[in-house]
Amino acid sequence: MLRDWQIQRRQHDGLEIANRAKIERKRENAYIVSSLTKRKTRYTVIADPNNPTCTCPDHEMHQEPCKHIYAVQLLIQREQDDKASITTLPQVPRPSKPTYKQNWTAYIAAQMNETNEFQAMLYDLVQNIAEPERGQGAAFSKGRSTTTGFRPTSKNRACRRSCGN
């Protein structure tokens, strides 16, 4: 029996082999796995669900699933997942034409609402600007009256200047 850490290490290595090593399918359940550690070394994995075998020394010695068996199992699992995703794809609702049109109408309506809102905002803005303008106008006329009130002062200043000279 293999210890837990030994199994975990084989599973870990198996994942690396599944990702990086070359795995060829020869027959149903028979795979040729290239070794990642030994160049030009290849092992044959028989992926029998009840009794998987490998030709590597590790499996021959322990008679337990080796990293190559785990790699092939991962590969088979991935292929099954891919097939599963392909078969489930058509079940995803496709946007039909009426929904598309409706969406556009809603989009255009939203755009128009936005324009209306913008115009309303602009109107408010103009109204707000117009208010202080009227106020400024009043202030301006007031200012004029004060300028008239200053006239004597400027006359006085001129007088003072001439008187001073």
When computed from its CA atoms, the radius of gyration of the chain, rounded to whole angstroms, is: 44
Q: Does 66 bind Zn ion (CB under 5 A)?
A: yes
* Cα–Cα distance for residue pair 89/27, rounded to 1 Å: 29
User: How many other CB atoms are found less than 10 A from the CB of residue 155?
Assistant: 10
Q: Does 59 bind Zn ion (CB under 5 A)?
A: yes
Q: Which two tokens stand for residue 92?
A: 């995803």
Question: Which CA distances in Å does 151 have to 4, 19, 56, 74, 95?
Answer: 105, 96, 114, 100, 80
Q: Does 68 bind Zn ion (CB under 5 A)?
A: yes
68/73 with CB nearer Zn ion: 68
Q: Does 10 bind Zn ion (CB under 5 A)?
A: no
Q: Does 71 bind Zn ion (CB under 5 A)?
A: no
6/102 with CB nearer Zn ion: 6
54/142 with CB nearer Zn ion: 54
Q: Does 54 bind Zn ion (CB under 5 A)?
A: yes
18/68 with CB nearer Zn ion: 68
Shortest Å distance, C-beta 81 to Zn ion: 23
Which DSSP letter does residue 39 get? T
Pattern of binders to Zn ion over 119-148, x per CB under 5 A? Answer: ------------------------------
Shortest Å distance, C-beta 1 to Zn ion: 17
What DSSP string describes 67-129? HHHHHHHHHHHHHHHHHHHHHHGGGSPPPPHHHHHHHHHHHHHHHHHHHHHHHHHHHHHHHHH
61/86 with CB nearer Zn ion: 61
Binding site for Zn ion (CB under 5 A): 43, 54, 56, 59, 66, 68
